[in-house]
Structure 1
Amino acid sequence: MDQVQFIERPELRDPILLLAFTGWGDASEVATWSAKYMVKEWDAPKLAEIDPEEFFVFTDTRPQSKWVNDQRTILWPATEFYYHKMPDQAHDFIVGIGTEPNLRWKAFLAAMMSVIRETKTTAVITLGGLLAAVPHTHPARLTGTATEPDLAEKLHSLTPRQGRYEGPTGIVGVLNTVLQAEDVPYASLWGNVPHYLAATPNIKVALGMLRQLNRGLSLGLSLSRVERQAVRFETQVNEAVADNSEITTYVRKLEAEHGLPGPEDPPAPIMPREELPSSDVLLADLENYLRRQRTDGDPEDNGPKDPHV
């Protein structure tokens, strides 16, 4: 299709596509942060990209101006695909990182499906982040569904069935419906983000997502750097929470509701967005505190960058 440009056409063995989009279904950037980390860790070459011209209102989703190698570069809203070969595994991997389009979703999904068909992708795993009434002090919660029992088993604790969610959806939800119609096996993995931290990149939840993917799919990723970042992130959040009695009380309430989690506990129940307590006051102190921490200049706290920058 004209919207898809292939940069390389490598021979891939039964590839699995790991896919994340910024926007509505990427609370705290846990999905796209995880996908970018994989691309950076693998030093994955670019496979293909979808031309953004027909799918975005650039006054709403604006291109970004950045300096790269002492030159001004314009970064357009992108949907890009990278690949990584795993000679010792049954599957190679493709990582897709995109921006949820503003326009022509059906045409965009047709372009997505052309990439899936062209690469002979055997399964798709969509990644996302959602707001949940869960405490940041508990291990990261991951929920989701899979159409095939083997996918559910690989990703641990997923439900081997279609999801039963009803309501507004994003591009990931629509894509999953298209995959089902095309008989493409898929799974959907969602990081549960404490809603009162939703405005900050949540490294702890991203780490939980990366660990589950790494273990279940044998990705061979080194996560030591992310683990250090997650420890610092949680320490900073705990310090900010300790300084605010209202937040502390609310976190203790969430802890009591969810109990002490264990490795085999079922996923935490997710409250609809409209039922979540207002987070305006909770976020203000945490945002200010974490913003100050991010300006301290620790290079390991920067996280993965856009692979093409």
Structure 2
Amino acid sequence: MFDPTDLYRLGDDLPELTDPVLLYHFDGFVDAGGAGRLAFGHLLDELEHRTVATFDVDRLLDYRSRRPIMTFDTDRWVEAETPRLAVHLAHDTTGTPFLVMTGPEPDREWELFITAVGQVAARLGVSKMITAHGIPMAIPHTRPLGLTAHASRPELIGPQSTSFGRVQVPGSVAGLLEFRLGEQGRDMVGYAVHVPHYLAQAEFPQAALAALDAVTRSTGLVFPLDGLRSAAEKTTAEIEEQIQGSAELSTAITGLEQQYDAFAAGSAGQNLMAESTPMPTGDELAAQFERFLAERDETES
């Protein structure tokens, strides 16, 4: 029988924590606008942290489907990226400790990995686990971002309106983790931030801010967000500049605003998941933004 303890290694001198929250996000699943990746990556960039647990990526990843980047210089290999899946200990701006688990989504041994995560969470005394990611929606960037909350117990998120009924979707490790550990009685919460479909492939810091705001409401943790807010303001200005230069884009965004406002007002038949009036598709809008995104990349490189 496989032993889940073989999948992870705990650090030396583990801290004694009192009911910490564990935030987690795995790269590889749907994450429109980079909402989850940017949010939790921002925390690790801004806050001092140390690694308290690592997982065996050699067993969990399929390198041939996601080949690590290697650097060749003239006549030899000089660098190779090493994927890392780990749990980090950080403290918020008030000094409250919390944990962050990030890394690539495992390709294999999902059930064993989930058992291993449960063991690590139990050893660290975790009280609640929270994940976040972005999903593309037919909404304009000029309106407040919504989010869909889900949890192992309804009282963890309270009442909410949602565009989702009962649906079947491709699974993810994050979703299965919430389901399996929730079955065991652990408090699990997730936030899916609604990201404009035409910006789903770009980095959209506004979505990361929405994710972290939701985490703060759920946990009381306070995060340094000035850098993320500045990035969001810059992104908004660049998007507006692109739209002002294109009558077609401006008309399309106006149409999305009208559709969104009708939905928000409770008009019958409106659904942000599927456009019920003639509108440019997400691919069509995204194609019009390709030049804008390419120019951003060239400017920032």
Aligned partner of 1:2 in structure 2 is: 6
Partners of 1:184 and 1:33 in 2: CA distance: 26
Normalising to structure 1: TM-score of the pair? 0.80
**Judging changes above 3 Å, is the alpha-carbon distance between structure 1 residues 118 and 187 closer, same or farther for their aligned structure 2 residues?**
same
SS at match of 2:112: helix
Match of 2:16 among 11, 17, 20: 11
Aligned partner of residue 108 in structure 1, secondary structure: helix
* 3-state SS of 1:130 partner: strand
| Residue 83 (1) aligns with residue 85 (2) | no
- Unmatched 5+ stretches in structure 1: 263-267, 299-309
The amino acid that maps onto 1:296 is T
2:283 equivalent in structure 1: 280
Q: Distance in 1 between matches of 2:234 and 2:24?
A: 27
- Counterpart residue number, 1:290: 293
- Give the equivalent residue in structure 1 for 2:25: 20
- Work out whether residues 127 and 190 of structure 1, in 8 Å CA contact, stay in contact via their aligned partners in 2: yes
**SS across alignment from 1:196:** helix
Identify the match of residue 219 of structure 1 among 211, 218, 221.
221
Matching residue within 239, 242, 245 for 2:244: 242
Shift of 1:232: 0.9
| Contact 2:69–2:80 (CA under 8 A) maintained in structure 1 | yes
Does 1:44 find its partner at 2:58?
A: no
What do the CA deviations read for 1:90-146 (whole angstroms, capped 9, x no partner)?
x63111112122222222222222221221211111111111111111122222123
Secondary structure at the aligned position of 2:59 is classed as: coil
- Report the CA distance between 1:244 and its aligned residue: 2.9
* Distance change in 2, residues 1:54/1:250 (3 Å): same
TM-score, scaled relative to structure 2? 0.82
Partner of 1:304 in structure 2?
A: none
Aligned residues: 284
1:11-160 aligned within 5 A: 11-65=16-70, 72-85=78-91, 92-148=97-153, 151-152=156-157
Q: Is 1:237–1:290's contact at 8 Å kept on the other side of the alignment?
A: no
* Alpha carbons of structure 1 residues 272 and 19: separation in structure 2 relative to 1, 3 Å: farther
Letter in 2 for 1:293: R
Q: Structure 1 vs Structure 2: percent identity of aligned residues?
A: 25
Shift of 1:164: 4.4
Q: 1:138 to 1:261 in 2, by over 3 A?
A: farther
The answer to whether the 8 A contact 1:204-1:230 is kept is yes
C-alpha displacement of 1:167:
2.5
1:297 Cα deviation from its structure 2 partner: 4.0
Corresponding residue of 1:169:
171
Q: 1:199 aligns with which of 195, 201, 213?
A: 201
Which amino acid counterpart does residue 100 of structure 2 have in structure 1? V
Q: CA deviation at 1:16?
A: 0.9
Q: Which residue of 2 aligns with 1:265?
A: none
Counterparts in 2 of 1:241 and 1:110: CA distance versus 1, 3 Å: same
Q: Secondary structure at the match of 1:125?
A: strand
Q: CA RMSD in A?
A: 3.2
| Paired AA for residue 53 in structure 2 | A
Amino acid at match of 2:11: I
Q: Is the 8 A contact 1:200 1:287 kept in 2?
A: no
Counterparts of 1:185 and 1:152, CA distance in 2: 11
- The structure-2 alpha-carbon separation of the partners of 1:112 and 1:66, relative to structure 1 and needing over 3 Å to count, comes to farther
Question: Once the 2 structures are TM-superposed, how far is the Cα of residue 148 of structure 1 from its aligned partner?
Answer: 4.1
User: Which structure has the greater CA radius of gyration?
Assistant: 2
C-alpha distance in 1, partners of 2:52/2:271?
Answer: 38
Which deviates more from structure 2 when the two are superposed, residues 193-202 or residues 141-150? 141-150
Give the direction of change, closer, same or farther, for the CA distance of 1:286–1:83 in structure 2 (3 Å limit): same
Most deviating of 122-131 and 108-117? 108-117
Structure-2 change in CA distance of 1:99 and 1:277 (3 Å): farther
1:5 deviation in Å?
Answer: 1.4
Q: Work out the CA distance in 2 between the residues paired with 1:171 and 1:269.
A: 28
Contact 1:236 1:290 (8 Å CA) reproduced: no
Alpha-carbon distance in 2 for matches of 1:55, 1:113: 16
8 Å CA contact 1:145–1:158 kept in 2: the answer is no
